[in-house]
């Protein structure tokens, strides 16, 4: 069966604006969206640029908007008719390749490491198991940015609201019972209160990190402690 894929292309060295380019391919499941991209690159467009390393949902590099929905291209079944665009709300370097440095620049302020005064007296130390569950959930994030592309508030308030990905990364430390930093204050500074709780981020998250749920809990804490 013939398939048809429309890919939004952009080359900063030659293009003033992005444009869709269509390719035909042999639709033969099992087949992922990444297979289709590889096929197009191999057969028709050697310069088609997109990221990805692990092929199986671990590296978080291959996110794109496929038929209007954010997904990891390596973990999304191909369809006979597809429209593929780069993730939204972030600068495009080339074709589907996005500029991650924008978010890297925010990273140092989040202090994404364990901050504590004292080492435990006994190891392995005793951990509050309830908090540990939330720590685990937040730690599933692979930084794929699918949630960032889906979130309506990120688009409206790019400076005031850090967005679901940085907040999920922060949540790992927020819920780490060992951590001694004022994470609630940090969450507030990152604009956690701006979240409208639409749940779109959780609905596209490929790793069940549930950013919306984590953000809701942090929002409460931030309001209580600092509001």
Q: Rule CB under 6 A: is residue 215 a binding residue for ligand SF4?
A: yes
- 95 makes contact with ligand SF4 (CB under 6 A): no
Stretch that binds ligand SF4, among 19-27, 36-44, 124-132, 161-169 (CB under 6 A): 161-169
Q: Which is nearer to ligand FES, 72 or 141 (CB)?
A: 72
How many other C-beta atoms are found inside a 10 Å radius of the C-beta of residue 129?
Answer: 8
Site string for ligand FES, 71-90 (x = CB under 6 A): -x-x----------------
For residue 54, state whether it binds ligand FES (rule: CB under 6 A): yes
Residue-wise burial string across 185-203, b where 16 or more C-beta atoms lie within 10 A, e elsewhere? ebbbebbbbbbeeebbbbe
Is the Cβ–Cβ distance between 37 and 23 less than 8 Å?
Answer: no
For residue 105, the partner it binds in ligand FES, other proteins, ligand SF4, none, with Cβ less than 5 to 8 A by kind, is none
Distances (CA, A) of 133 to 56, 86, 136, 177, 214: 24, 33, 5, 11, 11
CA 79 to chain centre: 23
Q: Is 195 one of the binding residues for ligand SF4 (CB under 6 A)?
A: yes
If contact means CB under 5 to 8 A according to the sort of partner, which of other proteins, ligand SF4, ligand FES, none does residue 35 touch?
other proteins
Interface with other proteins (CB under 8 A), residue total 55
Q: Which of 157, 163, 162, 160 is nearest to 201 (CA)?
A: 163
55: DSSP letter: S
Nearer to ligand FES, 35 or 190 (CB): 35
Q: Which of 168, 180, 176, 166 minimizes the C-alpha distance to 110? A: 166
Binding ligand FES (rule: CB under 6 A), the pick from 6, 41, 55, 106 is 55
86 binds, among other proteins, ligand SF4, ligand FES, none (CB under 5 to 8 A by kind): none
CA distance 199 to 103: 21
Q: What is the layout of strands, in order, in the sheet containing 69-72?
A: 19-26, 2-9, 81-85, 63-66, 69-72
Q: Which of 5, 9, 64, 76 binds other proteins (CB under 8 A)?
A: 76
Chain contacts with other proteins (rule: CB under 8 A): 13, 29-32, 34-35, 38, 42, 46-47, 49, 52-61, 74-78, 93-94, 97, 100, 107-108, 111-114, 119, 122-129, 132, 135-136, 139-140, 142-143, 172, 176
């Amino acid at each position: 069966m013939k398939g048809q894929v429309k890919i939004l292309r952009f080359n900063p060295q030659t293009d003033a604006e992005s444009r869709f380019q269509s390719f035909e391919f042999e639709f033969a499941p099992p087949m992922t969206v990444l297979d289709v991209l590889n096929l197009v690159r191999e057969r028709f467009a050697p310069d088609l640029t997109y990221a990805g390393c692990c092929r199986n949902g671990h590296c978080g590099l291959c996110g794109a908007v496929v038929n209007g929905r954010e997904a990891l291209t390596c973990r999304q079944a191909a369809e006979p008719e597809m429209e593929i665009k780069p993730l939204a709300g972030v600068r495009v370097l080339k074709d589907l390749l996005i500029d991650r440095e924008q978010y890297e620049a925010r990273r140092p302020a989040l202090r994404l490491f364990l901050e504590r005064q004292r080492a435990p007296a006994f190891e392995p130390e005793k951990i509050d198991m309830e908090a540990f569950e939330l720590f685990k959930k937040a730690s599933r994030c692979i930084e794929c940015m699918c949630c960032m592309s889906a979130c309506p508030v990120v688009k409206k308030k790019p400076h005031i609201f850090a967005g679901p990905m940085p907040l999920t990364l922060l949540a790992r430390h927020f819920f780490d019972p060992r951590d001694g930093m004022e994470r609630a204050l940090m969450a507030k500074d990152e604009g956690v209160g701006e979240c409208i709780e639409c749940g779109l981020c959780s609905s596209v998250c490929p790793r069940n990190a549930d950013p919306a749920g984590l953000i809701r809990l942090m929002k409460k804490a931030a309001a209580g402690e600092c509001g």
